């Protein structure tokens, strides 16, 4: 089971459960679950097991097929995700 326990980076709001996840980024092989709001420059990302994030909000499973270097955003819980490629190469 531990092979399914991927690490995920979350902002302090997701860590505390004070805000829902509205932005998911799969970048350079790492998953980030963020509230989509701005954070102070002193904000420290927290690392949690991805299973705990998914248990808290099962709708996040909809974006687990997100390819590497893509992100998905929604304006509120229950609305559709908008997927965007992360432009890591200058075009």
Q: Confirm or reject binding of residue 35 to Zn ion (CB under 5 A).
A: yes
Q: Confirm or reject binding of residue 8 to Zn ion (CB under 5 A).
A: no
- Least distance in Å: CB of 76 to Zn ion? 15
Neighbour-count burial of 34, counting CB atoms closer than 10 A to its CB (0-12 exposed, 13-18 middle, 19+ buried): buried
Q: Confirm or reject binding of residue 24 to Zn ion (CB under 5 A).
A: no
Q: Confirm or reject binding of residue 74 to Zn ion (CB under 5 A).
A: no
Number of residues that bind Zn ion (CB under 5 A): 3
């Amino acid at each position: 089971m531990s092979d399914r326990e991927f690490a995920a980076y979350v902002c302090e709001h997701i860590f505390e459960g004070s805000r829902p996840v509205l932005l998911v980024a799969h970048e350079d092989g790492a998953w980030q679950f963020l509230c989509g709001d701005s954070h102070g420059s002193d904000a420290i990302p927290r690392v949690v097991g991805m299973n705990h994030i998914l248990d808290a909000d099962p709708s996040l499973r909809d974006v687990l097929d997100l390819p590497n270097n893509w992100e998905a955003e929604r304006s509120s819980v229950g609305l559709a995700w908008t997927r965007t490629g992360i432009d890591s190469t200058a075009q």
